[in-house]
Each structure stands twice: as structure tokens, then as C-alpha cells.
Amino acid sequence: MPVSASAHKPSVLAMIVGGRTRQEARRALWGYVFIAPWLIGLLVFVGGPIIASLYFSFTTYDILSPPRWVGLANYHRAFLEDPLFWPSLGRTFYYAIVVVPLGLVGSLVLAILLNQGLRGTNIFRTFFFLPSLTPGVALSVLWLWLMQPQLGLANQVLRTLGLPPSPWLTDANTVIPSLILIQLLTTMGGSAMLIFLAGLQGVPRELEEAATVDGAGRWMKFRHVTLPMITPTLFFNLILGIIGALQVFTVAFVATNGGPDYASWFIALHIYQQAFAYLRLGYGAALAWIFLLIVLLLTLINFALSRRWVFYRGGA
């Protein structure tokens, strides 16, 4: 019995959800139903505030009165009139330039040590990872106590070793190096280490065995075999590390509140203070969008440069 062409025509429901048959359409529709709460939450609680902040960045707004359109005045103020904007941006970049490479090297070294297959590796892996699970506020309070100039454990250790004590977080010359030390000690064994460890375990054993047969030592195998194979992992950690370092906020807010004498006044802290301490929400939104564009530009530059040094086994 011949079947009419209309019998093979997809239903309206199938056309909407992109399925070829009614059964596939129902499955796809139920998929959209189940993810609808997340999509609605994303649009309302993430997309909505992002769009609102872009609008507020062109206004003067203090919550108590309706926003008033001022055009590019907030951006002009940030670049040309705000005495704290450029110094806070410079401190943030100084912090990131030191933290990112040292953090990557330290995390990679720890991952290499944990990849040796020695007894007790799981215990050391847990030991290294635990500090990264501690909430940032609690860690900041702990380090504030450890680095207390008179009674802190850090200076007690220095005195025991016969070294002069350090002012740590209470001096403008040592506060950023102290924050860098805190960041490195608490994050080197965190997610970056685990990602490096996964990348190292994905290096084909036959390549290392071939290098050994050719007479390559440990350093030569690492340089010419292991390191090229984990460049995608290195690049991933690099992007996350740069974004995370530029967003430094918690430890500076809790431990120093930007002091002493604005020496640890980072850009994220500047945005927070302008928006929520001084209720200059329009200006704070403009600062946030400037910071977003800076991070986006750095990310795009890194992606462009990655074509020269990142090796993907599946392609170029």
C-alpha cells in the first residue's frame, strides 16, 4: 500500500525541537523542560544583572535615587580623574605577573612528584590539596594571625633561625610579597596541581620508553616528550591562573582592607569599594566593565599566542 508524502512530514513539534520523528521530538522536548529551570536561572540571575550593569555603567546611581544617564562620564573619570584606578591596576598586574608563573611551576613540580607512583602518594595528594578547600575568609584570618608582627608564628620561626622578623602585612613594602606568599602556599596544591597530574598521566608511555631507548635522560625526556605533550594542560592552567590572579580580592579585603596606605588596593577591591562602600554603583559598574574587557583582551591574546607553542595530538 503506498504511503503518502504527508506521512513522512515531521510534525510541528518535531520541527520546533529539531527532531525527525515524533518520538525524538518528545525526548528533545522533555530535555528542554528539565533544563528550563537552569536556563531561566541563567537568564534571570546572570544574564539580567550583566545587561543591567552595562546600562548602569552609563549612569550615576546610588540605589536611593533613580539612575541618571551620564554617557561616558564614568569611563572618563576612571581613566583620567580617579587617582586610585591606575595604581590599583598596576598592583594587580604586578601581583599576577609574579603569582601566575610561580604558581604554575610549583603546581607542575608537585604534580610530577605525585606522578612517581611512590607509596603514600594518595596521602600526600590529600595533604597538598586540603588548603585549597579551606574558605578564603578563614584562610585570610589564619594567615593574618600567623603573620602578626609581634606574636605571629612566622616571625617566631624567623627569630628561632636567627633571622630578623618581618612586618609582613603591616608594611607597604612587604604587604604584596606577603600576599603573594600566601597565595602560593595555599593554591599550588589545588586544582592546578590535579589538572597537571591528569595531564601527566595522559602522556603515552611508549613515547617515554622510546626516548629512554634513544638514551635520553630524565631532563631530556621531560623537555622533549612530557612538556610538549602537556602543553594543552599548561595552557588551560595558564588561562585560569591569569583570570584568578587578576581577580584577587578576598585575602586583601579581609587581611589588609587595601592597606597599609593603599599598598594592597587591587582593582577588584577598588570596584567593590566604589560600588558597595560608597554606593557609586554606576561608577563601580563602569570599572567592572573595564576590568572585564582587560581580562577578555588578555585571554584573546593568549589564545592567539598559543598556536605557536601548544601541541594537540589530534591536530595542529
pLDDT per residue over 192-240, tens digit each? 999 999 999 988 888 888 988 888 888 898 998 999 999 999 999 999 9
**Do residues 228 and 202 make contact, with C-beta atoms less than 8 angstroms apart?**
no
- Does residue 316 surpass a pLDDT of 70? no
Residues 6+ apart with CB under 8 A from 298: 242, 246
Model pLDDT, residue 1: 46
- Residue 102 dihedral angles phi and psi, to the nearest 5°: -65, -40
Across the range 73-95, mean pLDDT stands at 97
Model pLDDT, residue 9: 53
The band of 275, judged by pLDDT with boundaries at 50, 70 and 90, is very high
pTM over 0.85: yes
Counting residues of the chain whose pLDDT is more than 90, the rounded percentage is 69
- Does residue 157 surpass a pLDDT of 80? yes
- Taking the CA atoms of 211, 229, 310 and 239 in sequence, report the sign of the dihedral they define: negative
- Residue 257 dihedral angles phi and psi, to the nearest 5°: 55, 40
Over the chain, what HEC string results? Answer: CCCCHHHHCCCHHHHHHCCCCHHHHHHHHHHHHHHHHHHHHHHHHHHHHHHHHHHHCCEECCCCCCCEECCCHHHHHHHHHCCCHHHHHHHHHHHHHHHHHHHHHHHHHHHHHHCCCCCCHHHHHHHHHHHHHCCHHHHHHHHHHHCCCCCCHHHHHHHHCCCCCCCHHHCCCCHHHHHHHHHHHHHCCCHHHHHHHHHHHCCCHHHHHHHHHCCCCHHHHHHHHHHHHCHHHHHHHHHHHHHHHHCCCHHHHHHHCCCCCCCCCCHHHHHHHHHHHCCCHHHHHHHHHHHHHHHHHHHHHHHHHHCCCCCCCCCC
Model pLDDT, residue 13: 52
Average of per-residue pLDDT values in the chain: 89
**Do residues 74 and 283 make contact, with C-beta atoms less than 8 angstroms apart?**
yes
C-alpha cell of 167?
612586618
Assigned CATH topology for domain 76-306:
MetI-like fold (1.10.3720)
CA-based end-to-end distance of the chain: 54
- Taking the CA atoms of 112, 124, 244 and 96 in sequence, report the sign of the dihedral they define: negative
**pLDDT, tens digit, for every residue of 14-40?**
555 554 577 888 888 888 899 999 999
State the amino acid at position 11 in one-letter form.
S
C-alpha cell of 79?
581613566
**pLDDT, tens digit, for every residue of 106-141?**
999 999 998 887 777 788 888 888 888 888 899 999
- Does residue 8 surpass a pLDDT of 60? no
**C-alpha atoms less than 13 angstroms from C-alpha of 174 in its C-beta half-sphere:** 10
The band of 10, judged by pLDDT with boundaries at 50, 70 and 90, is low
Model pLDDT, residue 29: 87
Residue range(s) of every CATH 1.10.3720.10 domain in the chain: 76-306
**Do residues 188 and 107 make contact, with C-beta atoms less than 8 angstroms apart?**
yes
The band of 315, judged by pLDDT with boundaries at 50, 70 and 90, is low
**Do residues 273 and 258 make contact, with C-beta atoms less than 8 angstroms apart?**
yes
